[in-house]
Structure formats: C-alpha cells, structure tokens
C-alpha cells in the first residue's frame, strides 16, 4: 500500500513539474503583454517608448515613458490578499489612469476596483492629486466600493504608495544631481 501511494505521489509530482515547465513561458509572455497594455492604458497612449524600469526597495516599479510615468505598487492587505495596481501620472503628478494588475478580491465586490475608481464612476480618482487619498469613512473624499471598504482602502494605499514612490525616485535623482553639482563646484575651485 505504501509503495503504491509513493508511486502515485511521484508520478503526480512529475506530471505537475512538467505542466509547470510547459506553461511558465506562456504565462510570463501574457503578464508582459498585460503590463505593456496596462502602461498604455494608464497613460492614454497608443504607442510609447518605455525606459528601463526602476525597482525601488519597497517593491514599487517605475516605468518612465515619453508620455508620462506609470508606477506599479502592491498592498498585501486587501480583503482577499495582495492587490497590485499600476497608476499613470502626468507631469503635474495628477492621476492620469490606473489598472488593477493583480487581485484576489471577492468577485462582484472587491473585484470592482478595476472600474469603481475610473473617470465618471462613484469613486472617481482620475485627475486627482495622490499622496493622501482616503475613503470617506476615514475622513477622505473618495467613495468606497459598496460593501468593500477594506479593498477600497488597500486600493488607495496602492495609489498613494505609487505616488510616494514617484516622489522618492524624483527626490533621489534630484539629490544625487545636486550632490554631483556641488562636488563638481568644489573640485573646480
């Protein structure tokens, strides 16, 4: 009996390993295409040139393009688990668009985040300054998804984190640029 069960487990493990190796490549291609489509959608551009992405210590990823900046941020504390959002910002730091890239939220409730916060919808955040967006229940100005306040909070934390990552990246570049200028001035004196 033990030998038969061990044999079944080994065969099942090998079959799962094979299926994983066969599907890994196509899954990565689909994710890359979804990211590319997402960047175009959040920046409202049909064609764009994307520079090499910058990954920050907090896991945020910044995609600079010729049409604006898209930032990917993740919050692990959605109602159903991890929530990953891609947010597009214009030159003034206003939200140009967003796309939910990954979610485990309840279908019909928290999964509505993909539409709820779009232009013209109840929780419209397009054109707003991110940084301290919060739901009305917490004293903010954004309507939460009906019966999904936890998801709405996680979504807005992602948007605020994306904006903070953008600001931190710009501060880091500005600080480094300023330091290089100061060093150059000292050596020229």
* Domain assignment of residue 31, yes or no: no
Identify whether 80 is part of a domain: yes
Q: Which residues pair with 86 in a beta bridge?
A: 72, 99
Domain that holds residue 85: 54-188
Residue among 82, 91, 97, 50 nearest 154 (CA): 82
* Distance between CA atoms of residues 142 and 150, nearest Å: 13
pLDDT at 185: 44
Query: Is 35 within a domain?
Result: no
Tens of each residue's pLDDT in the chain, 189 residues:
999 999 999 999 999 999 999 999 999 999 889 999 999 999 988 888 888 999 998 889 999 988 889 999 999 988 888 999 999 998 888 999 999 998 888 887 888 999 999 999 999 999 999 989 999 999 999 999 988 899 999 999 999 999 999 887 655 454 444 444 444 344 444
| pLDDT given for residue 174 in this prediction | 43
Q: Is residue 3 part of a domain?
A: no
**38, burial (CB in 10 Å: exposed 0-12, middle 13-18, buried 19+):** buried
| Within a domain: 85 | yes
Does residue 151 sit within a domain?
Answer: yes
In-domain check, residue 159 = yes
Q: How many domains does the chain have?
A: 1
Residue 73: beta bridge partners?
Answer: 85
Domain membership flag for residue 83: yes
CB 155 within 8 A of CB 123: no
Which residues are CB-contacts of 114 (< 8 A; sequence separation ≥ 6)?
Answer: 99, 100, 103
Quick one: pLDDT at residue 160? 95
pLDDT at 78: 87
| 8 A C-beta contact, residue 151 and residue 105 | yes
Are 50 and 127 a contacting pair, CB within 8 Å? Answer: no
Query: The pTM is what?
Result: 0.78
CB 111 within 8 A of CB 92: no
């Amino acid at each position: 009996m033990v030998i038969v069960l061990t044999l079944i487990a080994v065969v099942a493990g090998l079959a799962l390993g094979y299926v994983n190796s066969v599907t890994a490549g196509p899954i990565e291609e689909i994710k890359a295409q979804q990211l590319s489509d997402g960047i175009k959608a959040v920046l409202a551009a049909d064609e764009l040139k994307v520079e090499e992405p910058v990954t920050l210590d907090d896991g945020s990823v910044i995609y600079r393009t010729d049409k604006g900046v898209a930032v990917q941020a993740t919050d692990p504390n959605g109602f159903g688990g991890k929530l990953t959002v891609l947010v597009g910002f214009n030159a003034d730091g206003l939200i140009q668009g967003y796309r939910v890239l990954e979610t485990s939220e309840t279908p019909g409730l928290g999964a509505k985040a993909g539409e709820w916060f779009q232009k013209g919808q109840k929780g419209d955040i397009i054109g707003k300054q991110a940084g301290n967006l919060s739901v009305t229940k917490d004293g903010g100005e954004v309507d939460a998804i009906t019966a999904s306040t936890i998801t709405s909070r996680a979504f807005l934390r992602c948007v605020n984190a994306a904006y903070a990552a953008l600001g931190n990246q710009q501060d880091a570049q500005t600080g480094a640029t300023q330091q290089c200028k100061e060093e150059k001035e000292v050596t020229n004196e």
